[in-house]
Structures are given as C-alpha cells and as structure tokens.
C-alpha cells in the first residue's frame, strides 16, 4: 500500500508516519529528513537545497523528484508512507506517473488539519534530539533535564527553520502550494481528512481508521 501524508508544518505527520510504519512494518520516505541528511553530508544536492530550507520555501521540483525516484523504485511492492512529499500538484502528478510505471498508485492520501495558532505554538516550542531524533515540546512535553534527551542523553536542538518568521512563511507556502492536493486526491477518491488535535495516540487511532486496513 502507498500512503501520502500531508499537512501544514507542525501538524505531527512525521510522528504519525513513524507510528504507522511501526504498526504495519512499512517504510517511510520523509522528504524533509532526506534533505536534511544531504545538507549535513554537504553533498552537491544538499548544497543546492540548503538555502531553500533555511528560508522555509519549497526546494525546486527537479531536485525533489531526483531524491524521490530512487526511493519509489527501491520500495516497489512494499508498503510505503510518503511524509512531506508530494507538496504541490506537479510533484503529485510526477508521483502518480512514477508509481504507474511499476503498476502502483497512491492508495490513500491523508490530509492533517490543526488551527494555525496551535501549529505556531507547537513549532516555536519544538526541540529534537540531535542523536536519536526524539521530539520534545517545551510546553507539552518538556525533557526531564533541560537540554538533554530522556531517551539517550543526546543534546537537544531546535530546527533551523523553527523560527517564528520562517514558520509563518512555511504556513503560507503550505496554503498556496500544498493545500490544492486536497482537491486533487479527492478527485481520485483516495482523500481523507485527519483531525490532528489531541494526543498522538488519539490521532493515531484516527489515522488507522482512515487507512481502513486490518491491523488487529
């Protein structure tokens, strides 16, 4: 099964992607994580993408599709969750074509929703562990010891693009470029909205219900 997760930044789709992947033994393609790994590795692709992430705008499709294509081919026949890809109509069409080449399609597209001020609140308070990736929120889920990860003791950091001005830009980009995917996937009869409010466990129940897969 191929599942697309999309929604504004801070809505928790990365967390849900991990929970679903664990439950279903599927793989995840997180475009943001792949890009940040390229930037850390200082690869040519990372050098090109870095400034776009820093400003909170979309990386050009040509680079994104290069990253996505390999992963799609590698996961032929596997369950795969697309987290943060596609992010505009052009990418959605390219994804449909890449999957069609291997006789597959997007089976479900889940669009997460949450009020804007809650998104901003979540993102401005978000910290991640630079060693294991665990997420914290200074407000709702603070670490036991300030600055270090409860799980592995790693140093906690703030994402470069989790600054209020950049967050507002990312939200604008979402509305202008990504939101039209709701209409696109509705027209393909694979779209479901997921209310992203409440605990991650509660949201996970809603996600599994929209996937409508047998997961007992």
Positions annotated as catalytic residues are: 13, 87, 126, 159, 170
Of 83 and 104, the one with the shorter C-beta distance to ligand AMP is 83
Question: Between β-strands 191-195 and 108-113, what pairing exists: parallel, antiparallel or unpaired?
Answer: parallel
Of 56 and 191, the one with the shorter C-beta distance to ligand AMP is 56
Shortest distance (Å) from residue 5 CB to ligand AMP: 10
In contact, 120 and 170? CB cutoff 8 Å: no
**How far apart (Å, rounded) are the C-alpha atoms in residues 146 and 142?**
8
Residues that bind ligand AMP (CB under 6 A): 9, 31-32, 35, 52-53, 56-59, 64, 84-87, 91, 161, 170
Q: Collapsing DSSP states into helix, strand and coil, what is residue 147?
A: coil
Nearest to 178 by CA among 6, 1, 48: 6
Nearest to 13 by CA among 2, 5, 21: 5
Of 165 and 214, the one with the shorter C-beta distance to ligand AMP is 165
Can you read off the two tokens belonging to residue 89? 């109509």
Strands of the 80-83 sheet, one edge to the other: 27-30, 80-83, 2-6, 108-113, 191-195
Of 200 and 213, the one with the shorter C-beta distance to ligand AMP is 200
Can you read off the two tokens belonging to residue 203? 């949201």
């Amino acid at each position: 099964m191929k599942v697309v997760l999309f929604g504004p930044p801070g809505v928790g789709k990365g967390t849900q992607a991990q929970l679903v992947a664990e439950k279903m033994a599927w793989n995840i393609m997180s475009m943001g994580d792949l890009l940040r790994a390229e930037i850390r590795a200082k690869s040519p692709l990372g050098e090109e993408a870095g400034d776009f992430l820093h400003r909170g705008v979309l990386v050009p499709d040509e680079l994104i599709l290069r990253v996505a294509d390999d992963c799609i081919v590698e996961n032929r026949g596997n369950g795969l969750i697309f987290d943060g890809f596609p992010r505009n109509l052009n990418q959605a069409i390219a994804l449909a074509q890449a999957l069609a080449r291997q006789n597959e399609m997007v089976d479900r597209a889940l669009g997460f929703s949450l009020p804007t001020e809650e998104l901003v609140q979540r993102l401005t308070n978000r910290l991640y562990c630079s060693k294991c990736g665990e997420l914290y929120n200074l407000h709702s889920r603070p670490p036991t010891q300030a600055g270090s990860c409860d799980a592995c003791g790693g140093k906690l950091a703030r994402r470069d693009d989790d600054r209020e001005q950049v967050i507002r830009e990312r939200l604008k980009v979402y509305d202008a470029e990504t939101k039209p995917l709701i209409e696109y996937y509705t027209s393909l009869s694979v779209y479901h909205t997921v209310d992203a409010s409440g605990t991650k466990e509660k949201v996970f129940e809603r996600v599994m219900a929209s996937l409508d897969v047998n997961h007992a």
